[in-house]
Structure 1
Amino acid sequence: MTKQPMRLAGLALVAGASLTAATAQAADKGTVHLAYVEWSDAVASTNVMRAVLEQAGYEVELTSLSAAAMWQSVATGDADAMTTAWLPTTHQDYHDRLEDQVVDLGVNLDGTKLGLVVPAYSEMNSIADLDDHADAIDGKITGIDPGAGLMGLTEEVIEEYDLDVDLQSGSGATMTAALQNAVANDEEIVVTGWTPHWKFARWDLKYLEDPKNVYGGAEQIHTMARQGLEEDMPEAYAILDAFEWTPEQMGEVQLLNQQEDADPYENAKQWVAENQDLVQEWLPES
């Protein structure tokens, strides 16, 4: 994203002043509790929303949970909202069980994708190729946290394609660390992947074709709120409802978060300061 230096500095000053003024008002407006899962997209969107809500005068508390617990916390009212509901496929089970207990505020990001990802140099092009390269990948698919919907879908993939490989659980961080090591050594590796994710900007990667369409088509990320939030905090509810951005905009924040000693909250505040034109579209008119 290219901006003139003077305009960038001016926006940062405006946003900084707004955030400072907001701190004084926060005690009157109350605290918004946001739940999230430690995925790069969730860390980016949740911290951006924190910065925006603080600009509007709210205090914000974040709670990191598993995907299942994140949904449950909004359904029970322990959290006010989340910005990381992947639908209709990844979080289908959670949605089917809890849709009557949460409020769907709609899509905040369109154009996502799920699947198995390999380095671009890999000889594999389809999920059906995995068994032929089982030795090269140590007989495993490198996954993320076991509660993620993507992991459940990958178990279905192994069954549908009758693959003789194991799905190794871990976290988003361990998955990308394994990918980094494999790419550095020109080795074969298969990981569970999704878009948007910063790894596609860092390395030359490709999705394996899924001829049986187990992973489904493109997904969307929704914002979910607890029941009663609109009545309790109408302005916060309106901001969460208006929140919408693109994979490219999210990618900017994700890349900032990959810098050494990165602070996702500080990076979010920086991004919000530099993108006030968009942020103002999320804020209610004065």
Structure 2
Amino acid sequence: MKKLFKVLSLMAVLAMLTAVLFGCAQGGEEKKEGGEGAKEGKGKVTLGYVEWDSEIASTHVVKNVLIDMGYDVETVAVDAGVMWTGIGDGDFDAIVSAWLPGTHKDYYEKVKDKVDNLGPNLEGAKIGLVVPEYVTINSIEEMNSVKEKFDGKITGIEPGAGIMRATEKAIQDYGLDFKLQDSSSAAMAASLKKAIDNNDWIVVTGWTPHWKFAKWDLKYLEDPKGIYGGEEHIATIVRPGLKEDMPEVYRMLDDFHWAPADMEAVMLDIQGGMSPDEAAQKWIKNNQDKVNEWIGK
């Protein structure tokens, strides 16, 4: 009887182990079929961008639209030179951060025969020297006369950026007795905020669209020599072969177009504390009609 009891107990344990193993197998299979990781992707898209507030906004909106379309998307933040070399060499599938015809002119000239320019995704862009509205001068030509109020410096962004090169030329052509101070887009905005909080004079390298124009009363200094050029646009550039490799992605990028107010709304949310992805998802949710135009719905 004891032997029979042992056999029955062993059979019960084996039955329990079998049930547990079967349940695990079933659970794993369910996760594979229905879980998020199980969704079969359409492929990977790599987007390069410069870490300007404007381009963080646009790149993450495009990223999240493509993710919603079923693609795996990688975004790579680099400086302008690396971004243009990357798209020229095919390391990136696309960039939506090309400031043309002026700011990125030199970069574009080097790769224009190796890339596809899909045209503007945003129009009405501009670069130049920006000051708070309370600053009493209105032209770059007046800067030397009030050099002390500006501490003899122009607060810039990343060295090598197109607007920095234009500012170096402005210093030379206008004979400005000013030093151009390298920093970053974020550091420039922080310096601007500090100066405005204290009602101090400051001149920065600026561009629109940018959230700072929605947050503070600012103005461009007039540029009678035309160093900073006229109105610019932001273009979408893709690698050759993308149209054939990923026609749906190509069509979406070709149809991607929005207004400065759209971009500034995303930038303001990021500035307010949202992550770039959160701000992009909020904008997409609130502008589904526009997004549907991009994706052909």
TM-score clears 0.5: yes
C-alpha displacement at 1:284, in angstroms? 2.9
Match in the other structure for 1:38: 51
Separation in 2 of the partners of 1:270 and 1:180? 26
Match in the other structure for 2:154: 141
Q: Secondary structure at the match of 1:147?
A: coil
Match in the other structure for 1:182: 195
Q: 1:25 to 1:270 in 2, by over 3 A?
A: farther
Contact 2:41–2:72 under 8 Å retained in 1: no
1:265 aligns to 2:277 (yes or no): yes
Match in the other structure for 2:239: 226
C-alpha displacement at 1:24, in angstroms? 7.0
Letter aligned with residue 244 of structure 2:
E
Separation in 2 of the partners of 1:80 and 1:246? 23
Aligned residue among 128, 132, 137 for 2:145: 132
Match in the other structure for 1:4: none
Mark the runs of 5 or more structure 2 residues left unpaired by the alignment.
1-33
Match in the other structure for 2:101: 88
Separation in 1 of the partners of 2:222 and 2:283? 35
Separation in 1 of the partners of 2:37 and 2:65? 15
Structure 1 vs Structure 2: percent identity of aligned residues? 51
Report the number of matched residues.
263
**In the TM superposition, what whole-angstrom CA distance separates every residue of 1:197-245 from its partner, at most 9, and x where no partner exists?**
0000111111000011111110000000011111111101110111000
Letter aligned with residue 142 of structure 1:
T
> What are the within-5 Å matches in structure 2 for residues 132-211 of structure 1?
132-211=145-224
Letter aligned with residue 156 of structure 1:
K
Which protein shows a greater Rg?
2
Match in the other structure for 2:122: 109
Give TM-score, length-normalised by structure 2.
Answer: 0.86
1:28 aligns to 2:56 (yes or no): no
Letter aligned with residue 59 of structure 1:
D
Match in the other structure for 1:280: 292
Letter aligned with residue 143 of structure 2:
L
Give TM-score, length-normalised by structure 1.
Answer: 0.90
Separation in 2 of the partners of 1:24 and 1:227? 30
Q: 1:278 to 1:24 in 2, by over 3 A?
A: farther
Q: Secondary structure at the match of 1:108?
A: strand
- Structure number with the bigger relative contact order (C-alpha 8 A, sep ≥ 6) is 1
Separation in 2 of the partners of 1:25 and 1:239? 25
**In the TM superposition, what whole-angstrom CA distance separates every residue of 1:40-60 from its partner, at most 9, and x where no partner exists?**
110000000011111111110
Q: 1:161 to 1:26 in 2, by over 3 A?
A: farther
Separation in 2 of the partners of 1:60 and 1:26? 14
Q: Secondary structure at the match of 1:257?
A: helix
Match in the other structure for 1:73: 86
Q: Secondary structure at the match of 1:223?
A: strand
Separation in 1 of the partners of 2:37 and 2:259? 31
C-alpha displacement at 1:28, in angstroms? 3.5
Separation in 1 of the partners of 2:167 and 2:39? 43
Contact 1:114–1:150 under 8 Å retained in 2: yes
Q: Secondary structure at the match of 1:221?
A: strand
Letter aligned with residue 187 of structure 2:
T
Letter aligned with residue 208 of structure 1:
L
Separation in 2 of the partners of 1:25 and 1:139? 59
> What root-mean-square deviation, in Å, do the aligned CA atoms of Structure 1 and Structure 2 show?
1.3
Contact 1:24–1:57 under 8 Å retained in 2: no
More helix by share: 2
Q: 1:71 to 1:242 in 2, by over 3 A?
A: same
C-alpha displacement at 1:26, in angstroms? 6.2
**In the TM superposition, what whole-angstrom CA distance separates every residue of 1:141-172 from its partner, at most 9, and x where no partner exists?**
00000121000001110111011101101100
C-alpha displacement at 1:129, in angstroms? 1.1
